[in-house]
Chain A
């Protein structure tokens, strides 16, 4: 048996097996070691798959040797490997961080269950990315969502419970919309394999069930990726979840949902169907812009840093969807780039906030006053990530925003260039709120000294902050993968 042939399925199976193991082992250090090993193996597999695709091109894996379209097919191509590297990479970095971070946030008896849920969530997210089967997408989506609800409910405050419940309701509605969409597609095409569906849909193009499927899928997935007006669950969920969970989710969960949207739009429906028959471009553009401006404005007025950056996430999702709405290769490149760059940046931000929460007991604006003096390195990290959210040259955020501007200029939409820059000003405003509190205010009187941050938290956090800068300077990996993925999608995978 040649193990390297089975990498696509091992990518999912390794974390999946780790999850029940942690329940059996029960001891939290053993559980931690198991999931840590699983996530690093998954990261290794993702890199191997990326290299394989880079050298020999996309390939599929038939589960149980049943050939597609009868069996379930795992599809490994430039786009999915790029996402796999992001998801498993962030998991591998957040996990060591979580060990010390959950110590103060989750009661000790529940630690092993935290790792179980983390492994399941990772399984789901990797599964969505690698599978080439529509119903499989739904199943993995639910695996990741259900474990996410539990992870959020583990939060310290009682509001975490309601946040989790609200996310459960919204998420389940979204997932059900997605199944309805998949069901209608299955009725019309008679297949569940995404690539096969993409080929057969030509015969039923423009019929009402297909357009209804498109609408259901768009709304369902938009709920999952927190596109503005459907983002209501996100700020509460990110604010009240344990820090490690916020970091992992902010970096991966919404990004994977965007991937699902891209897959359905470009690999199944085809751009002509999505953008010509329904006014999707206009709708996407409008919602993206609304998200960029309204969510950024909300962010400025938040009194809790976690909440502030959660709203910033909604705004950044706006940029990602904006790239999609161009329907051009450059726009798509910008979308895929921003998926990665924003994932890295937001992961770093929430890990830094986790360090702050551990050291001074909270992340409200009043607590972080004078943080520049009390925790100089952490504050500096938050500022660096803030610059990346604004899109300052030299950070990862600049690269993707630059491509977004290129896409707008390519279409000659100068007013859009202006709006993108204007919304960046709002980002400056909310990052400035932190800078003002941390550097220009004195610490409140009578505050205890900051607890030292354990190295197990500091090192992974620093790694992601460095990555934020690194991907702003050395872009061959990100831009190379993103352009390849965009070319593949625009060329029609079908």
Chain B
């Protein structure tokens, strides 16, 4: 296998690392979700790319063809995409609620707001 043959894997790993890095390094809640989206997308590629064979055709049996692509990864990833959409939707909904409650979507600001609140509570007691 040549380096070119691993082309899809290079892209997969790049997307994977980039996504995970954004999730960890960014404090903005929306950016974190974007990173998560990229991270999850890389997995779609990991599954789908090896399913395609060069010169392969759709898996409908026929005398004219001998090489078929594997359809199963597509089906799996269709499910994974749905899961990814649901996760993203829920994440965004939570961010909307967080912004209503804290008036901020920066993680460090929100955490410091919580700390302030805890201090005030202790002083009251």
Which residues from chain A sit less than 8 Å from chain B, CB to CB?
Answer: 135, 138-139, 142, 146, 149-150, 153, 158-159, 161-162, 164-165, 168-169, 172-173, 175-176, 179-180, 183-184, 186-187, 192, 366
Task: Give 18 pairs: A residue, B residue, CB < 8 Å, sorted on A.
Answer: A142-B86, A158-B98, A161-B94, A164-B94, A165-B29, A165-B98, A168-B87, A169-B23, A172-B36, A172-B40, A173-B23, A176-B40, A180-B16, A180-B43, A183-B46, A184-B46, A186-B73, A366-B125
Closest CB of chain A to B26's CB: distance in Å? 11
Distance A138 CA – B97 CA, assembled complex (angstroms): 28
- Residues of A contacting B39 in the complex (Cβ-Cβ under 8 angstroms): 173, 176
Report whether B98 and A146 are in contact in the complex, using a CB–CB cutoff of 8 Å. no
CB nearest to B75 among chain A residues? A135
Report whether B43 and A183 are in contact in the complex, using a CB–CB cutoff of 8 Å. yes
Q: Counting CB contacts under 8 A, is B10 at the interface?
A: no
Report whether A165 and B86 are in contact in the complex, using a CB–CB cutoff of 8 Å. no
- The tally of residues in B whose CB lies under 8 Å from a CB in A reads 32
Report whether B46 and A180 are in contact in the complex, using a CB–CB cutoff of 8 Å. yes
Report whether B102 and A158 are in contact in the complex, using a CB–CB cutoff of 8 Å. yes
> In chain B, residues 72-91, which have Cβ atoms closer than 8 Å to a Cβ of chain A?
73, 76, 79-80, 83, 86-87, 90-91
> In chain B, residues 59-118, which have Cβ atoms closer than 8 Å to a Cβ of chain A?
73, 76, 79-80, 83, 86-87, 90-91, 94-95, 97-98, 101-102, 110-111, 114
Which of B23, B76, B98 has the largest count of A CB atoms less than 10 A from its CB?
A: B76
Distance A257 CA – B47 CA, assembled complex (angstroms): 23
Report whether B91 and A165 are in contact in the complex, using a CB–CB cutoff of 8 Å. yes
- Residues of A contacting B110 in the complex (Cβ-Cβ under 8 angstroms): 162
Report whether B43 and A179 are in contact in the complex, using a CB–CB cutoff of 8 Å. yes
Q: Counting CB contacts under 8 A, is B56 at the interface?
A: no
- Residues of B contacting A146 in the complex (Cβ-Cβ under 8 angstroms): 86-87, 90
- Residues of B contacting A184 in the complex (Cβ-Cβ under 8 angstroms): 46
- Residues of B contacting A135 in the complex (Cβ-Cβ under 8 angstroms): 76, 79
Distance A162 CA – B98 CA, assembled complex (angstroms): 7
- Residues of A contacting B95 in the complex (Cβ-Cβ under 8 angstroms): 165
Report whether A149 and B94 are in contact in the complex, using a CB–CB cutoff of 8 Å. yes
- By Cβ-Cβ distance, the 10 closest A-B pairs, closest first, are A158-B101, A142-B83, A165-B94, A161-B98, A183-B47, A161-B97, A183-B46, A179-B43, A172-B87, A168-B91
Distance A73 CA – B32 CA, assembled complex (angstroms): 36
Distance A158 CA – B87 CA, assembled complex (angstroms): 20
Given A150-B90, A153-B94, A366-B125, residue A169 in contact with residue B32 (CB < 8 A): yes
- Residues of B contacting A164 in the complex (Cβ-Cβ under 8 angstroms): 94
16 new A-B contacts, CB < 8 A, other than A150-B90, A173-B39, are A138-B80, A139-B79, A139-B83, A158-B98, A161-B101, A162-B98, A162-B110, A162-B114, A169-B23, A172-B87, A173-B23, A179-B43, A180-B43, A180-B46, A183-B47, A366-B125
Distance A284 CA – B58 CA, assembled complex (angstroms): 45
- Residues of A contacting B43 in the complex (Cβ-Cβ under 8 angstroms): 176, 179-180, 183
- Residues of B contacting A179 in the complex (Cβ-Cβ under 8 angstroms): 43, 80
- Residues of B contacting A186 in the complex (Cβ-Cβ under 8 angstroms): 47, 73
Distance A138 CA – B43 CA, assembled complex (angstroms): 13
Closest CB of chain A to B82's CB: distance in Å? 9
Closest CB of chain A to B24's CB: distance in Å? 9
Distance A180 CA – B9 CA, assembled complex (angstroms): 12
Report whether B90 and A168 are in contact in the complex, using a CB–CB cutoff of 8 Å. yes
Closest CB of chain A to B10's CB: distance in Å? 15
Closest CB of chain B to A370's CB: distance in Å? 16
Report whether A173 and B36 are in contact in the complex, using a CB–CB cutoff of 8 Å. yes
Distance A158 CA – B117 CA, assembled complex (angstroms): 11
- Residues of A contacting B46 in the complex (Cβ-Cβ under 8 angstroms): 180, 183-184
- Residues of B contacting A138 in the complex (Cβ-Cβ under 8 angstroms): 80, 83
Closest CB of chain A to B57's CB: distance in Å? 19
Distance A158 CA – B86 CA, assembled complex (angstroms): 22
